Structure 1
Amino acid sequence: MARGGVPSLFPGTASVMVFFILSGIVLSLVPFKRMGSGGYDWLGYYPRRVVRLCVPLFAAIALALPAGYVAWRLGSTSRSALAVAYDAGLPTVVHDILMQFDVLFNVSDDGSNLFGAPLVRVDSPVWSMSWELWFSLTLPLAIWCISRIRRTDRAVIATFAAVFVSHWTGYFPLRFCLMFWLGVMVARRFDKIRAVQIPVPAELALLAASVGVIELSLVWHPGGVLEALKSTIMNAACLVVVVVSIADGFTRRALSTAPMVFLGKVSYSLYLTHAIVIGALVALLPKLGIADPLAIAAVSLPASMLAAVAFWRIIEVPSMNLSRSLASSGPGDIVQ
């Protein structure tokens, strides 16, 4: 919620769902292409993927810890400032710090862990990277299962039925996994989707309807079965956005321009660091007499981009080079 009880219209949850679908697509394209030409080197894939994900991830957490401490010292009550109990005893502080690096077993839905206990991250985007890592490790199973599906349309319908059950019961791991698997399904039909030409009016209508559903999900909370159905439709809208972006239309052409391609390159770094930068500015700028939310936002956007580009050059690019040196083959580098 924004200030004054007004709901935020930034689709954070939907953005993560799109992120998961895209990850499933990007990781699956090369394995599917190589299935008919001698198979795929999965042993080479594992070290490459873990290094590619975890080096930038752990570096971002390491940067977030002192930033969170400074924010706490400045009196901030943000999640990053309270993620570590700095005023507790040393064993508790060390425990909380170590928990920040536990991204494989300490999973959550950005609020609570699997057992309903609150779970706070010093760098909030890290929660989604836990699921990214789990999916990366189980990718061979997804490829094996989906390569044996004859009717992808029926598989998609069954997947969304399971997503509904996940929302209805509150068991979030099911839907997070399935959003990745939807990406694998798209990857299997990628060339066919890419060849589809969508008329401009139809493309605009699909995008408008999808964005409308996503925004509606932020402000309408009917509860119960309707809440689960609404959230499931929101997940479906995320898939539509991705499919439209792949098909032959103005959206794909817009995303292929040089600025968007560069943004794609640094997007993983931006995702890992933006919360650190924004949290630091929210804590620091009021101390300097800048308290207006629009002014803080105006500073946060370029600052986040500068930090992302620096992180990309200093941390992410070397991690990609290291990952390539560990194996001769593997899925293409992700752009998230």
Structure 2
Amino acid sequence: MTAGTIAGAAVRAETELDVVLARKEIVADGVARLTFRSGDGGPLPSWEPGAHVDLLLAPGLVRQYSLCGDPADATTLRVAVLREPDGRGGSRHVHDRLAEGDTVRVRGPRNHFALVPAERYLFVAGGIGITPIVPMAAAVQAAGADWRLVYGGRTRSSMAFREELCDRYGDRVSVRPQDETGLLDLDALLGEPAPGTAVYCCGPEPLLAAVERACAHWPPGTLHTERFAPKAGADDGPREAFEVELAVSGLTLAVPPDRSILSVVEEAGVQVLSSCQEGTCGTCETVVLDGTPDHRDSLLTDEERAAGDTMMICVSRARSPRLVLEL
């Protein structure tokens, strides 16, 4: 196993390491579960429920996948990947080309979907969005918390981990295949706010948007979501030129309307760790020392946006003429 720490945005340095695909198995229609082990038997990075990793599948092909194994097991990392025929090629590479015994470069883990302390938990998962929920359910069950999971999918056979979850947790898990029961009844599920409840949702964008609307009258901070595609309209807004001052590097750079901060900074020779370049993974999160960001990511909470302490420089811009960044 080779590993090293690479410097990125000043908020964080991350670890990259080579792992071996020890097992590849189909766990539902179109869903492959990958189990990675270190090449030399050494321990793998620690993580907590909600974390995801980058898989560096090929040059220019980096994708983020939620970890769905056991955080207490330092010998393996597990992810589940849905084949997306109309996707950008990552899932096709995993399903068609990645084989047991192959070495894959992994970056992370990182976690923008962590469990918060709460009296009770409501998990809402759609399709492959079940992956980060699997270790979350195990964690809250072990802690003796009150919780339930509502799990929707196209068909029963397409719903990964369905039998495992039902066998392990019984009636805490409600399985709702769309071809049998229709869309999830979010009005019944979320119509009345339940004080002390943390709501976690992961799944396709229509589900996430519907849950956000349904939770609009719940207390602030109740809903926690994770996206692996940009939120609809996230990058809307004016595209004016502005300046960025890099406090560590001592550079002041002009960002034109048609370019991102990330591309301008990289062109100037400043190394910044990045991955999705869509504002969803959090890799390029950068500390803001002065100025007002125009947040266009699909990751930060409303409270984090209002604070303006960090920003995703792959997509976000500036509301002030100049930003000062810790780069």
Q: Considering the TM-score relative to the shorter chain, is it more than 0.5?
A: no
Higher fraction of strand: 2
Q: As a proportion of its length, which structure holds more helix?
A: 1
TM-score bracket for the superposition, by shorter chain length: under 0.3
User: Structure with the greater relative contact order (CA < 8 A, sep ≥ 6): 1 or 2?
Assistant: 1
In the superposition, the TM-score normalised over structure 1's length comes to 0.24
TM-score (ref. length: structure 2) = 0.24
